[in-house]
C-alpha cells in the first residue's frame, strides 16, 4: 500500500473539477435511475411527501392508473384510493404503518382515472431514517391473482356446501329406509341400492361438469344394468333430446332408479316376460314422462305407502316443481311425471 | 327437560328447504316431535310468499336455495318479528351480522340439535 504523500490527490482547482465531475456523474446516475424506474412498466413507482402529496410518478404509474405525472403532482396520494378506503382513512393509516414498522403492505383496490378498479399489490416504504420525509409506494396490478384466489375460495365454499348437503341427503335416505324396512336384510339391500343410485347420479353430473345432461342418455344409463342379453326387448324407449339442468338430472336419475328397483322386486322385471315402455313429450310449457309396465305379475296396490313411493310422489315432484302420479293398475305400474319445461331444463324458453 | 320438550309440541313450523329428500326427513322429524309442518317451500319466491302470508310459529330456513341465499327471507321474517332457524352446509360465519342472532344448524344435523335450535329460536 502506498502511504506516501504523492499518492494523495492535491487540493485546489483539481478538487473543484472533481466536484463538477461528481455532479455530472450524479446527474447521469439520476437519469439512469429514472430510466430504470420508467422502464419498470409493470410497476407503479410513486413517491409521496411527508403530507402524502404526490412528489413523483413513473411511467408504470401512468400506465396503471391513467394519469400523467403533470396531472397528479402535488395532489394527495388518496386520489387513487377507493371512496370506502378514503372514508376509512386508509391512505393516512398506510403512511403511519410504514413509518412505524418500516413498511406497509399495499394490498387493496385502487381507482384508475377512468373510475375503473384494479387490485394494487405491493408495498409502501418510508424514505430516510428516523422521522420519514417521504414515502415510496411500489405496486402492480394483481387483479388476476386476486380473482383467482377469490374463485378458489368460492369453489372451496361451494364444495363444502355440496358435501354437507350430500351427507344430509344420505342421512335422510338412511333414516327413512331403516324406518320403513320390515327386516334388516331388506333395509340393507334397499339402502345399498339407493346409495349406489345417488353415487351414479353424481357420476353423470361430474361427467357433464355439473352443467346437466341429456335425458336420453340418463334413461339409457339407468336401464343399462337391467338390459340383460337374454331379454333384449324389455324396454321400449322413445322421446326427443331434452337437456336437463343438474338438479333435475339428479332427481330424475334417483326417481328412475327407484322405479327400476321396484320393477325388479315386484313388477315387470321380476319375471322373464315383462316389458317397460318409457316415453316422454315436450310441449312447452309442459314436460310429461311416462313409465308403463306390462307383462309382470298382477299388481296389488300397496297396503301402505312406502318410502319408495314417497321419494317419487313427494321428493321427485318437489325437486322438479311438478307432479308425480303412481297408478297401481292391475296389468302393471304406471308412473307419470309432469313438470314445467323451464324447471327441468333451466332455460326460460 | 320434560317441560322443555313440551314447548315444541303443537308448534307450527314453516320448512324452507330446496332438497326434497332432506325436506322429507325434516318433516318426519318435526312431526315425531309433535310439531305441525304448515308447509314445505323449496323455491325462493314461494318461500318468501309463504313466509309473509302463512301462520306459523317458527321457520326453518335453508341458507342456500338452489344457489340463491335465503337471507332476504330471513330479513322479512325478522321484520315481522317471526322466529327462525338457519340450516346450512356452509359455516355459521357466512350469515350476515344483522341476522346472526338466529340459531344456525350445521347440515347434516341430529334430531336433538334441531330441537335445541327451535327452542332457542322460540324463546
* CA distances to A13, A103, A197, A216, A236 from A253, in Å: 97, 58, 8, 11, 18
Average pLDDT over residues A83-98: 94
pLDDT level of residue A20 (50, 70, 90 thresholds): low
C-alpha–C-alpha distance, residues A65 and A80, integer Å? 8
State the cell numbers at A318. Answer: 318437489
Q: What is the distance, to the nearest Å, from the Cα of residue A1 to the centroid of all Cα atoms in its chain?
A: 70
Interface test with B, best of A168, A311, A337, A342 (most B CBs within 10 A): A168
C-alpha–C-alpha distance, residues B41 and B61, integer Å? 10
- Which one-letter DSSP state was computed for residue B81? T
Report the predicted TM-score, pTM, of the whole model to 2 decimal places.
0.70
Q: Which residues pair with A238 in a beta bridge?
A: A279
User: A169–B43: do the CB atoms touch at under 8 Å?
Assistant: no
C-alpha–C-alpha distance, residues B117 and B123, integer Å? 10
Kind plus residue range of the DSSP H or E element containing B38: strand B36-41
Cell 301462520 sits on residue? B55
Cβ–Cβ under 8 Å, residues A118 and A28: no
Superfamily in which the B3-121 domain is placed by CATH: Response regulator (3.40.50.2300)
Smallest Cβ–Cβ distance between A176 and the set B28, B42, B66 belongs to B28
How close B20 comes to chain A (CA, Å)?
5
C-alpha–C-alpha distance, residues B18 and B43, integer Å? 6
Chain B residues whose CB is inside 8 A of the A172 CB are 21-22, 24-25
Residues A298-326 have pLDDT tens digits of 998 888 888 889 999 999 999 999 999 99
User: B108–A171: do the CB atoms touch at under 8 Å?
Assistant: yes
Whether A232 shows a pLDDT value over 80: the answer reads: no
C-alpha–C-alpha distance, residues A134 and A83, integer Å? 24
Cβ–Cβ under 8 Å, residues B65 and B89: no
Chain A residues whose CB is inside 8 A of the B90 CB are 157, 160-161, 164
Pairing of strands A332-340, B12-16: unpaired
**pLDDT tens, N- to C-terminus, chain B (123 residues):** 444 444 789 999 999 999 998 999 999 999 999 999 999 999 899 999 999 999 999 999 999 898 889 999 999 999 989 999 999 987 666 788 788 789 999 999 999 999 999 999 998
Domain residue spans in chain B? 3-121
How close B106 comes to chain A (CA, Å)?
8
Amino acid at each position: 500500500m502506498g502511504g506516501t504523500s504523492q499518492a494523495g490527490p492535491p487540493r485546489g482547482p483539481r478538487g473543484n473539477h472533481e466536484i463538477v465531475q461528481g455532479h455530472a456523474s450524479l446527474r447521469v446516475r439520476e437519469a439512469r435511475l429514472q430510466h430504470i424506474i420508467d422502464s419498470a412498466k409493470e410497476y407503479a413507482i410513486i413517491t409521496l411527501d411527508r403530507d402524502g402529496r404526490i412528489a413523483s410518478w413513473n411511467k408504470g404509474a401512468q400506465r396503471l392508473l391513467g394519469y400523467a405525472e403533470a396531472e397528479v403532482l402535488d395532489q394527495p396520494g388518496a386520489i387513487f384510493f377507493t371512496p370506502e378506503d378514503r372514508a376509512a382513512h386508509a391512505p393516512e393509516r398506510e403512511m403511519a404503518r410504514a413509518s412505524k414498522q418500516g413498511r406497509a403492505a399495499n394490498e387493496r383496490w385502487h381507482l384508475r382515472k377512468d373510475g375503473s378498479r384494479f387490485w394494487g399489490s405491493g408495498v409502501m416504504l418510508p424514505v430516510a431514517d428516523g422521522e420519514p420525509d417521504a414515502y415510496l409506494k411500489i405496486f402492480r396490478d394483481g387483479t388476476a391473482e386476486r380473482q383467482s384466489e377469490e374463485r378458489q375460495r368460492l369453489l372451496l365454499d361451494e364444495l363444502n356446501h355440496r358435501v354437507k348437503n350430500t351427507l344430509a341427503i344420505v342421512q335422510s335416505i338412511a333414516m327413512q329406509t331403516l324406518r320403513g324396512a320390515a327386516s334388516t336384510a331388506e333395509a340393507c339391500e334397499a339402502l345399498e341400492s339407493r346409495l349406489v343410485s345417488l353415487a351414479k347420479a353424481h357420476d353423470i353430473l361430474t361427467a357433464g361438469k355439473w352443467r346437466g345432461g341429456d335425458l336420453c342418455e340418463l334413461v339409457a344409463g339407468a336401464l343399462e344394468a337391467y338390459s340383460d342379453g337374454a331379454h333384449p326387448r324389455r324396454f321400449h324407449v322413445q322421446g326427443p333430446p331434452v337437456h336437463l339442468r343438474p338438479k333435475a338430472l339428479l332427481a330424475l336419475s334417483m326417481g328412475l332408479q327407484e322405479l327400476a328397483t321396484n320393477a325388479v322386486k315386484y313388477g315387470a322385471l321380476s319375471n322373464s316376460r315383462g316389458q317397460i315402455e318409457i316415453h316422454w313429450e315436450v310441449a312447452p310449457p309442459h314436460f310429461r314422462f311416462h313409465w308403463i309396465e306390462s307383462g309382470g305379475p298382477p299388481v296389488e296396490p300397496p297396503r301402505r305407502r312406502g318410502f319408495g313411493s314417497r321419494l317419487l310422489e313427494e321428493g321427485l315432484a318437489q325437486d322438479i316443481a311438478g307432479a308425480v302420479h303412481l297408478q297401481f293398475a292391475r296389468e302393471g305400474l304406471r308412473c307419470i311425471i309432469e313438470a314445467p319445461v323451464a324447471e327441468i331444463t333451466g332455460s326460460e324458453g | 327437560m320434560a317441560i322443555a320438550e313440551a314447548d315444541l309440541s303443537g308448534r307450527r313450523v314453516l320448512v324452507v328447504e330446496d332438497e326434497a329428500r332432506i325436506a322429507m326427513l325434516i318433516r318426519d322429524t318435526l312431526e315425531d316431535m309433535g310439531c305441525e309442518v304448515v308447509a314445505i317451500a323449496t323455491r325462493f319466491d314461494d318461500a318468501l310468499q309463504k313466509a309473509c302470508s302463512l301462520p306459523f310459529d317458527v321457520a326453518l330456513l335453508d341458507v342456500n336455495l338452489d344457489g340463491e341465499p335465503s337471507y332476504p327471507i330471513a330479513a322479512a321474517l325478522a321484520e315481522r318479528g317471526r322466529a327462525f332457524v338457519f340450516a346450512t352446509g356452509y359455516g355459521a360465519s357466512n350469515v350476515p351480522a344483522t341476522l346472526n342472532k338466529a340459531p344456525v344448524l350445521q347440515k347434516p344435523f341430529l334430531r336433538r340439535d334441531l330441537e335445541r335450535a327451535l327452542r332457542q329460536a322460540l324463546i
